[in-house]
Structure 1
Amino acid sequence: MPFIISVDRVRFHLNRLRDRLWVRPLAVCLLSIAAAFVAKLADGTRLTQLVPLITADSIETLLSIMAASMLVIATFAVASMVSAYASAGSTATPRAFTLVVADDASQNALSTFVGAFIFSIVALTAVKNDYFERAGIFFLFVLTLIVFAMVIIKFVRWVDSIARLGRLSTTIDKVEKATVMALKRRRDAPTLGAMPVQSLTRGQAVFAVRVGYVQHIDIGALQAWAEKAQMRVVVAALPGTFAAPDQALAYVRSQSDEQTEIDCDPVIKSFLIGDDRLFDDDPRFGLVVLSEIAGRALSPAVNDPGTAIDIIGTFLRLFVLWNEPATPGDENSPKYNRVEVPEISLQDMFDDAFTAIARDGASVVEVSVRLQKALRSLASLDNEKMRDVAESHGSLALNRARVGLVMADDLTAVINAAKSAEPVTSSKTQDAGSLDRE
């Protein structure tokens, strides 16, 4: 059966192009070459008698200056970007590298500088070989001034952007933005547009042919195959799942639950598996990356509890967003009736977000207090499942703080912060319990 390419898969691959530094500069270079020859269209028209005379020497001087300077600026831009990437990877986490590389401001600036260099080289070669006439020279001069203005504006804006690109706060903001987008997509389509898992009969297991992380599931392709083969597909591995030889990607069965031989190759191809997790369809990955940043900040070598506190606030915003009603739209109702997909586990999301911070920040009173306040806020939301999970994590974090904190006053502060979520039952430190009762 031929493999079906769906719109969803095309969207996924187009998003991957943003992670490649060469794509946008290449597109701008092609446009620059085309722009250098657009001026030739003015030759042979009545514009020759209307436009002022521009000498070839003047435009050659401008193009020569641009050609000499743009290559230097482009080289400087690449060096600055590489330095910012290294800084982001060392101060935050290597898992945020793809977001830093995909920075639009840096890619646009590099594309502008390289495109201006190519434009100047092509235009200068054409002018020196008398390719343009009077009207063409004039419009080439106008294009050159426009390119100069674009380069200056882009350079000024890019200097401010590159100064912030490698900073920890900028990396955290980028991770939060990517996580927000992934959370919104999954909140609006909790089963990826498919049916929720309903049946207990699994059917024939389908395993991956390579080891790696599930990056994307083409639900449309699964639906098309299931309709043609008269099958039902139950997805077992959501995006972000590590596909091992013993980890089933999905289960397929016939409509009548008969055990027949099934060609599952199209099902396997609907699961895109790579070496790394991606942010697009994996909301939990964003939570893991933020938790890693907080864990590094709480390490003895860094000792930066303020960053961990900032990320706790970020988690609070993200889970409040997750609790909001879905955005009305067609994606809310299942479109693929032959595919069943499980919803993402709220318990797993809380584990990804708060476990590392509770463990690494157990001996830091200000982090423990802020964590208890955040979990108490989440427990107060009108969501019974989130309340139960938040209270469970609050109790676990409090137990870790009882072990990690040495001073009774520090433990009392954490207990007071958690009081609304959990009654004080500390038997480890009698002084702390008496102070809390007071």
Structure 2
Amino acid sequence: MNNKIIYFTNRLKEKLWFRPFIFCIFSIIAALLAQFADNTFLKELVPKISDDSLVGLLNTISASMLVIAIFAVASMVSAFSAASSNATPRSFKLVVTDDVSQNALSIFIGAFIFSIVATVALKNGFYGEAGIFILFVLTILLFGVVIITFLRWVDRISRLGRLSNTIQQVEKAALNSLSKNISNPLMGGTPQESSILYNGEACYSNSTGYVHTINIEILQKLAEKEQMHIDLSCVPGSFISFNTPVAFSNTTSGYIKEQIAEAIVIANERSFDDDPRFGIITLSEIASRALSPGINDPGTAIHIIGSMNRLFCAYNKMPSDGPIIKYDRVSVPALKISDLFTDAFRPIARDGAGNVEVMTRLQKCLAIIAAIDHPEFKKEARHQSIQAFKRSEIAMGFQPDIEELRKITLFLSDS
């Protein structure tokens, strides 16, 4: 149930309307709650505030906030479009969930709703002297919050959608997902051998798409109830179809198979939350786009290689006590280090094979990663280094460039 709530909450946060809606509700409540001050001791202590001055202030807020909110939406849409076209469409979700921009839009719309509700209530005699004073204080505070938010948002919107900012957001999302994976690599399930042969009855998906999340707690309760074991054959980020087995169990019941399939949430697009490979794939897509002949921006690819370097070094330093087994009746495939390296470096090596600056930076990055005291990192870094050099040998026609690259690559070879 907790996993379902977290998943549902994360999906709501991705909706642009969610925070403005919450702020609107709080604005209406705040405007109406001021009236309760009329029934307290404050009515004999507070100074009298002119209705006209308060109405003028509320009218100013209502007139300006709607215009600013429309301007904010237009600016955000422009930033979203820039992020999708300059980086990759996969980065759209991260840009649209920018906290500063969403909070700014929410405050602007919330202030507009507050001023409208307060004005209507004030002109209809809803407030006494104490209520008017509290409303005046709330309006002044709201006015100050709006000014601070607007100044902060202007600074943010100037960078939102820029390529460097988008790369930073994707790198942060990838790091968070990798951190979540290293702290709980099997989602609390039991480990599987890499060469496991699934036995028993196959459970097939109800739809086609990417695995968003797996409600492993539900699978555990089902396995305990039916006295069985469930072997998952997919993880978040896996693409599955109607004829793709998502799990194997020793049950022949069609109803139980249906329950197993329903515990695996499928969506049309991948998510950054529980899919550590997706952030790395998105970064490599940005690099590949920058290396295309139409854009020809090797500097961005070099920037992405630096991001990959930081991610793998950070991944190695993350503390891990090994798998934490909470669900002993559900086995989960482990994340393959080889997949991470392939996602990160193969597209860059393929599309940048003819660029000596990009390939030099890539070889240096792989050399740094190979120096990490991690057997799998060493093995995969060596493999990617050799593969990248072979691609460059084919793509580069200038022999001195090839020889320069060879000097960097040779010490990583297995010879």
What TM-score do the two structures reach when normalised by structure 1?
0.92
Kindly indicate whether residue 4 of structure 2 is the aligned counterpart of residue 9 of structure 1: yes
CA distance in 2, matches of 1:320, 1:241: 25
Aligned to 2:404: 413
The separation in 1 between residues aligned to 2:205 and 2:245, in whole angstroms, is 7
Question: Are the counterparts in 1 of residues 198 and 231 from structure 2 also a CA contact under 8 Å?
Answer: no
Aligned to 2:388: 397
Distance 1:114 1:234 in 2: 49
- Report the equivalent of 2:259: 266
What is the match of residue 233 of structure 1? 230
Instruction: State the partner residue of 2:60.
Output: 65
Residue equivalent to 2:47: 52
- Who is 2:25 aligned against? 30
1:349 is matched with 340
| Letter matched to residue 251 of structure 1 | F
Partner of 1:361: 352
CA distance in 1, matches of 2:115, 2:174: 41
Q: Which amino acid aligns with 2:287?
A: A
Equivalent position to 2:364, from 359, 373, 390? 373
**Structure 2 residue identity aligned to 1:354:** F
1:339 equivalent in structure 2: 330
Q: Choose from 174, 180, 187 the match for 2:182.
A: 187
Counterpart amino acid of residue 207 in structure 1? Y
| Secondary structure of the corresponding residue to residue 263 of structure 1 | helix
Give me the TM-score of the superposition, normalised by structure 2. 0.97
| Distance in 2 (alpha carbons) for counterparts of 1:327 and 1:37 | 51
* Deviation at residue 45 of structure 1 after TM alignment: 2.6
Task: Please list the CA deviations of residues 265-294 of structure 1 after superposition, one character each: whole Å capped at 9, or x if unmatched.
Answer: 111111000000000111111111000000
Which residues in structure 2 correspond to 1:199-238 (within 5 Å)?
200-238=197-235
Distance 2:255 2:325 in 1: 25
In the TM superposition, residue 197 of structure 1 has moved relative to its aligned partner by: 1.2
- What does the per-residue CA deviation read over 1:213-240, in whole Å, with 9 as the maximum and x for residues that have no partner? 1111111111011000111010101111
Correspondent of 1:163 among 158, 161, 167 = 158
- Which shifted more, 376-385 or 284-293? 376-385
**CA separation in 2, counterparts of 1:130 and 1:280?**
50
Find the counterpart in structure 1 of residue 81 from structure 2.
86
| 2:103 corresponds to 1:112 | no
- The residue type paired with residue 266 of structure 1 is Q
Cα distance in 1 for partners of 2:239, 2:336 equals 16
Do structure 1's residue 298 and structure 2's residue 291 form an aligned pair? Answer: yes
The answer to whether the 8 Å contact 1:234/1:250 transfers is: yes
Tell whether the 8 Å contact from 2:179 to 2:318 is kept in structure 1 after alignment: no
Shift of 1:40: 0.4
Whole-angstrom distance in 1 between the partners of 2:405 and 2:255: 57
Equivalent residues of 1:84, 1:166 under 8 A apart: yes
Deviation string, structure 1 residues 103-124 (Cα, Å, up to 9, x no partner):
0000000000000000000000
Supply the distance in 1 between the matched residues of 2:58 and 2:198 (Cα, whole angstroms): 71
Aligned-pair CA distance for 1:325 = 4.6
1:83-162 equivalences under 5 Å are 83-162=78-157
Cα distance, 1:314 vs structure 2: 0.7
Kindly, what percent of the aligned residue pairs are identical? 46
Given that residues 298 and 358 in structure 2 are in contact (C-alpha distance below 8 angstroms), is that contact kept between their aligned partners in structure 1? yes
Q: How big is the shift at 1:327?
A: 4.4
Q: Displacement, 1:261? A: 6.7
Point out the more displaced range, 377-386 or 272-281. Answer: 377-386
Pairwise CA distance, 1:24 = 0.5
Residue 420 of structure 1 aligns to a residue whose secondary structure is helix
Tell me how far 1:295 sits from its aligned partner: 0.3
Residue 314 of structure 1 is matched in structure 2 by 307
Query: How much does 1:245 deviate?
Result: 2.6
1:332 Cα shift? 4.2
SS of equivalent to 1:43: helix
CA contact (8 A) 1:29 1:114 kept: yes
Q: For 1:69 and 1:83, how far apart are their aligned partners in 2?
A: 21
Task: Tell me if 1:326 matches 2:348.
Answer: no
Deviation, 1:193, is 0.8
Does residue 245 (structure 1) correspond to residue 215 (structure 2)? The answer is: no
Which of 279, 282, 306 is matched with 2:275 structurally? 282
State the Cα distance separating 1:410 from its structure 2 match.
1.3
Amino acid at match of 2:188: G
Q: What CA deviation, in whole Å up to 9, does each residue of 1:114-139 have, x standing for no partner?
A: 00000000000011111111111111
Letter in 2 for 1:98: K
Shift in Å, 1:423: 7.0
- Per-residue deviation at 1:419? 2.7
Q: After superposition, give the CA deviation of every residue in 1:33-72 in whole Å (9 maximum; x if it has no partner).
A: 0000121011133222211110100000000111100000
**Alpha-carbon displacement from aligned partner over 1:314-359 (angstroms, at most 9, x marks no partner):** 111111122225345xx94211100000101111111111111001
Between the aligned partners of 1:241 and 1:117, the Cα distance in structure 2 is 44
1:67-117 C-alpha deviation (Å, 9 max, x unpaired): 100000000000000000000000000011001000000000000000000
Q: 1:250 is aligned with what amino acid?
A: A
Partner letter of residue 244 of structure 2?
A: Q
Whole-angstrom CA distance in 2 between matches of 1:18 and 1:67: 26
Shift of 1:376: 1.3
User: Which runs of at least 4 in structure 1 moved beyond 3 Å after TM superposition?
Assistant: 198-201, 259-262
Residue correspondences, number: 413
8 Å CA contact 2:236, 2:274 repeated in 1: yes
- State the AA in 1 paired with 2:277: R
Please give the alpha-carbon distance, in whole angstroms, between the structure 2 residues aligned to 1:88 and 1:261: 45
Aligned equivalents of 1:283 and 1:413: distance in 2? 34
Amino acid at match of 1:416: K
353, 356, 377: which one pairs with 1:386? 377
The answer on whether the counterparts of 1:326 and 1:332 sit within 8 Å (CA) in structure 2 is no
Q: Give the 3-state SS of the residue equivalent to 1:205 in structure 2.
A: strand
Tell me whether 1:21 sits opposite 2:16 in the alignment: yes
Q: Please give the alpha-carbon distance, in whole angstroms, between the structure 1 residues aligned to 2:277 and 2:391.
A: 23
Contact kept, 8 Å, 2:201 with 2:250, in 1: the verdict is yes
